[in-house]
Amino acid sequence: MNSILKKVKSPDDLKKLKDYELTILADEIRKVLIDTVSENGGHLSPNLGVVELTIAMHKVFNSPKDQFVWDVGHQVYTHKLITGRQDDFCKLRMEDGLSGFPNPNESEHDIFFQGHSSASISSAFGLSMAKKLLNDPNYTVAVIGDGALTGGLAFEGLNNAGRSKNAKLIIILNDNDMSISKNVGSIAKYLAAIRTKPQYYAIKSNIEDSVMNIPKGGEMLYEKISKAKKALKNYMYESTLFEYMGFRYLGPIDGHDISAVCDALEGAKSLECPVLLHVKTIKGKGYDFAEKLPTQFHGTPKFDIETGEPISGANSFSSKFGKYLCKHAEDDKRICAITAAMSFGTGLETFKENYKPRFFDVGLAEEHAVTFASGLAKNGMLPVFAVYSTFLQRCYDQLVHDAALQNQKLVLAIDRAGFVGDDGETHQGILDVAFLNSIPGIRVYSPSSFNELEMNLNRALYEDPGVVAVRYPRGNEGEFPVDYKCVDEPFTMYGDEGAKNVIVTYGRLFSEAIKAMEKLQKKGINVKILKLNRVKPIDINAVKSVLNDESIFFFEEGVRSGGAGESFALKLLENGFKGQYKLRAVEDKFVESASMPTLLKKYKFDSEGMVDLIAGSTKT
């Protein structure tokens, strides 16, 4: 089994394979992808769609001299299998295993860390310009999906890269008509239109081959056809947006036909200018369930290969958020939901079905989403932008300039706040509190439970002015004791009010704090918990409530610098706190890929980690 794949230890081995072996290799790779993702979870349908494309790229180019830049980077599994990482592939997305995205620490074949979309053209252009300046004759190839092409940064890249004469830059547009959900907007429509045009590239090679084989007069005919071809070429070139932007456009071609893709790539290499090769692929290709349900299998938890059923299905903050928003939207016709191509992940599918005119999928365009929301708000709508914490990072200036400064009333529903687990460095939501902290006027809530999510959302929609963020973690709520009551207040005190040791925390870590408190009590250390429901601005009464206590331990599942723990410490100091203050947060580093429990343990945010710190710093 896997006999051909096993022989491919590097791209050089792949280059030695015959055409029919490449086809077998593709089948073997598909099987490994399905088996591994069914065990580890991961991005299945995007990877199944680019197996042949990746094989062809490694056949035609010489990675790593020729450099590949993968947009988003979620489609690199075949690339990893071909570039010497087969043995570790079973540990995909696991701690000390392979990242699910390109990772330069793993291989010289991965050029950049990637995870956020629409950046590939700009970075590939930079690579190719550096090569040009250094007289390096090798190529740079960016692979960008039709979804990622909806992001503004992609167009900033095209706008500049197309002007560079003699650049050895090839952009492969991997067009499967899908983002995570169906691709949206005018670019998607435009691609659909050119996808159905006659295939210039295919015509070119077929005609040349057949005409040159005619025994007599073949050459004359070739001449004539060459002229016709030129006319056709001009027509095709003139007719695409990419041509107007300075690229030579080739395609569209079948991205699952290895030899056609190899031909097209060879053709692209022979043109001494930036080229855009348009390939058509099928998302989920080769696994029935993924082809039929590409959205569910875009990023999937472990699943049963026979039935396609996911192995998990617990409640999540995302689904609760979607439900609560629908409840409000039924009565309040001002509510609009906005997503940047993440309706599935953020729990907005039901909203999308039921309130279509007020649902806006703007494509992978978070910056636009915020500014657009601002416009909606200005004219009386009540926009809610549901976005993963990590992707909101892109919107800093829009939040400052277009939302907060204008005092627009809009709600940010920030999903995947805190650790996200196995998606790794690029996706951890550890910065939002810190960057929102710096923007005047924005309020930030951080619920620990589904009930609090509902209360906070209600406040965000109807009570608080301006921009209000409600940030919540990936997955399910934690466990709470029966006597714990959610309150619609900026903070809650839980435990023995007389205790002189205080845990201060918010969000997901509250349920860990409760466990820690119980464990500490067993050790004879009396602790109470100050839970911040609102982390910006921190209520001065929350600070005052612990001012005379002896030791304060702040646990924050986010970066230390600029986070709530620092704000809290400063307020304590300003108000004369004399006791011991310890802040445990993510220090000055990016957080790697690992399961959620592993990360909580490693960063000592689990109850054991809390107990260790507190027991080591207090007198019994």
Ligand X SMILES: Cc1ncc(C[n+]2csc(CCOP(=O)(O)OP(=O)(O)O)c2C)c(N)n1
Q: Which residues are catalytic?
A: 283, 366, 394
Nearer to ligand X, 430 or 532 (CB): 430
Note whether 341 binds ligand X by CB under 6 A: yes
Element (H, E) at 353: helix 349-354
Note whether 340 binds ligand X by CB under 6 A: yes
Q: How far is the CB of 74 from ligand X (least distance, A)?
A: 5
Q: Which of 5, 37, 173, 180 binds ligand X (CB under 6 A)?
A: 180
Nearer to ligand X, 144 or 384 (CB): 144
Residues 24-83 touching ligand X, rule: CB under 6 A, are: 46, 49, 72, 74-75
Q: What is the DSSP letter of 90?
A: G
Q: Which of 51, 171, 178, 594 binds ligand X (CB under 6 A)?
A: 178
Note whether 187 binds ligand X by CB under 6 A: no
Nearer to ligand X, 11 or 145 (CB): 145
3-state class percentages of the chain: helix first, strand second, coil last, to nearest 5: 45, 15, 40
The region of 141-149, 185-193, 240-248, 566-574 touching ligand X under the rule CB under 6 A is 141-149
Q: How far apart are CA 396 and CA 405, in angstroms?
A: 12
The region of 77-85, 140-148, 184-192, 307-315 touching ligand X under the rule CB under 6 A is 140-148
Residues 348-407 touching ligand X, rule: CB under 6 A, are: 364, 366, 391, 394
Q: How far apart are CA 620 and CA 612, in angstroms?
A: 13
Q: How far is the CB of 162 from ligand X (least distance, A)?
A: 20
Hey, what are 293's tokens?
């349900």
275 Cβ partners below 8 Å, 6+ apart? 169, 170, 171, 247, 248, 249, 250, 268
Note whether 147 binds ligand X by CB under 6 A: yes
Q: Is 217 left (phi over 0), alpha (psi -120 to 50) or beta?
A: left
Note whether 157 binds ligand X by CB under 6 A: no
Q: Which of 148, 470, 572, 585 binds ligand X (CB under 6 A)?
A: 148
Q: Which of 38, 176, 295, 374 binds ligand X (CB under 6 A)?
A: 176
Residues 411-470 touching ligand X, rule: CB under 6 A, are: none
Q: How far apart are CA 444 and CA 468, in angstroms?
A: 6
Distances (CA, A) of 444 to 178, 347, 418, 447, 456: 33, 20, 14, 10, 9
Q: How far is the CB of 346 from ligand X (least distance, A)?
A: 10
Residues 225-284 touching ligand X, rule: CB under 6 A, are: 283
Element (H, E) at 141: strand 140-145
Neighbours of 164 (CB within 10 A): 16
Q: How many residues bind ligand X (CB under 6 A)?
A: 26
Q: How far apart are CA 282 and CA 607, in angstroms?
A: 46
Q: How far is the CB of 284 from ligand X (least distance, A)?
A: 10
Tell me the chain's radius of gyration from C-alpha atoms.
27
Question: What string marks each residue from 96 to 135 as x (binds ligand X by CB under 6 A) or -?
Answer: -------------------xxx------------------
Q: How far apart are CA 350 and CA 324, in angstroms?
A: 11
Which residue carries 């960016």 as its tokens?
142
By the criterion CB under 6 A, which residues form the site for ligand X?
A: 46, 49, 72, 74-75, 115-117, 145-148, 174, 176, 178-180, 283, 298, 340-342, 364, 366, 391, 394
